[in-house]
Amino acid sequence: MIEIRGLEKYFGALQVLKGIDLDVRKGEVLSVIGASGSGKSTLLYCINGLEPIQKGSVFVDGTDVHAKGTDINKLRQKLGMVFQQWNSFPHMTALENVALAPRIVRGKSSGEAREIAVRQLKHVGLEDKLNVYPSALSGGQQQRLAIARALAMEPAYMLFDEATSALDPELVGEVLDTMRLLADEGMTMICVTHEMGFARDVSDRVAYFHRGVMEEIGPPSQIFCDPQSEHTRKFLANVR
Amino acid sequence: MFDYNFHWRPVMKNLPDLLEAGLLTLQVAVLSMVIGIGIGLCLALIRMNRNGVLYWLATAWVELARNTPALFQLFFFGFGIGAFGVHLTPFAIVLAALSFNCAGYLAENFRGGFQAVPETQMRAARSLGMTQWQTYTRIIIPQVFRIVYHPITNQMVWAVLMSSLGMLVGFRELSGETQFFASRTFRIFEYFAVTAVIYYVIVKCILAASRLLAMRLFRY
């Protein structure tokens, strides 16, 4: 379970998160929607400790992410992350991209790591690209590679930071399908997304962020059909 | 007006000596590059961290290496530190000066290389649970090396050519050896012409080797 309490985050003098309280249960799929600059992506970075926070706390399975004594590298193994700019490692083949972290972070033998990598690449439909370098992959394929790389750590949670925003429109589908597959398998997911269709169909709950505040959270039926907040209503009217 | 008669025989007789001296040139250049790459990488990392005494030391190193004549740097290691009772062999003097110079230039190349690797690569690696050390050694630095590969090759060529200054501190590398024979036979033009060809061939070999190595290393 991920528990966020009174989370405040500043970039210099600019406050980007203004006291967020949020629980994400095991097995839940939460979509986070909102305009650019509303703090959605920053929220993800605060959950896995890539950004320090100024106030409040984030607990992952009872461990305080931002506490001094926390082994953050160990904790991050529970939190797979997929980025907007897929960030595949360009100097490694698809297989090496996926096998590296299991080997050097989880201490698997190269044989085991290879097995894990092959399994995860198959999982995302890249079994025929094992020895291909990322430069020879399409954006959609690179994003699926990034998903496989995160899954290879066997995380308990997956954080998606606008995983489809940088993709050509015709490549969005294959990545969303992969994310749907994970949701069906019961993965706990927080998806920052601009894909309203995905948010509506796949999520258990949808949260709407507005200028660093979580304006509204609820089941997709409520957010999309009966939004309680004026801001949510305006936002959804504009994206449709 | 032009009554100089070329005599190539003495040069040809000494060709094996010159080639052997060429090997010494190559040796000191390669060694200084290995040391220079190691130190240059450290200097770049220290300067990116921007903290304290180390930052100023590294910056002073880079500034001095890049903005003073290489010859002065050589004389510093040859005669300058002699004032403090430290006396190095000619080989050590040239090695120290070349390493000092290469490290300074390479540090700036590396700095540019680090800046060219997207910051998101660091985030991606850290999000997988890699430590900062693992991220640098496995993800960042390998990419930096590709970016600075050609500047490193240039620096290697420069190191070979710059090592010729060694003759001024009594180092019998290719130029020193040539000077030695030329002044004994007064066949100055002939000796230096042949030596120029040897330098040229060494540099061309380095460039060819570099290209082959790049094909092996960078398949992506």
* Residue ranges of domains in chain A, CATH in brackets: 27-38+71-239 (3.40.50.300)
Distance from CA of B125 to the nearest CA of A (A): 8
Cβ <8 Å between B127 and A50: yes
Residue B147 lies in a domain: yes
Residue B2 lies in a domain: no
What is the rounded distance in angstroms from the CA atom of residue B103 to the CA atom of residue B109? 10
Nearest-Cα residue of chain B relative to residue A150: B128
Number of domains in chain B: 1
pLDDT for the residue A240: 66
List of chain B residues whose C-beta atoms are within 8 Å of the C-beta of residue A134:
220
How many CB atoms sit inside 10 A of residue B33's CB? 23
How many CB atoms sit inside 10 A of residue A135's CB? 10
Cβ <8 Å between A135 and B220: yes
- Residue ranges making up the domain that contains B37: 9-217
pLDDT in tens, B94-144: 999 999 999 999 999 999 999 999 999 999 999 999 999 999 999 999 999
Give yes or no for a contact between B130 and B156, defined as CB atoms under 8 angstroms apart: no
Q: What's the distance, Cα to Cα, between the start and end of chain B in Å?
A: 60
Answering whether pTM is above 0.80, one says: yes
Residue B170 lies in a domain: yes
Hey, what are B183's tokens? 């002044």
Cβ <8 Å between B134 and A146: no
pLDDT in tens, B147-191: 999 999 999 999 999 999 999 998 998 999 999 988 888 888 988
CATH of the domain at B157: 1.10.3720.10
Residue B117 lies in a domain: yes
pLDDT in tens, A153-179: 999 999 999 999 989 888 999 999 999
Cβ <8 Å between A100 and B138: yes
Cβ <8 Å between B127 and A133: no
Residue B1 lies in a domain: no
Q: Is the ipTM of this structure higher than 0.85?
A: yes
Give yes or no for a contact between A234 and A211, defined as CB atoms under 8 angstroms apart: no
Distance from CA of B122 to the nearest CA of A (A): 9
H or E segment and range at residue A158: strand A157-161
What is the rounded distance in angstroms from the CA atom of residue B127 to the CA atom of residue A40? 17
A–B CB contacts, 8 A cutoff, strictly below = 65
Distance from CA of A71 to the nearest CA of B (A): 10
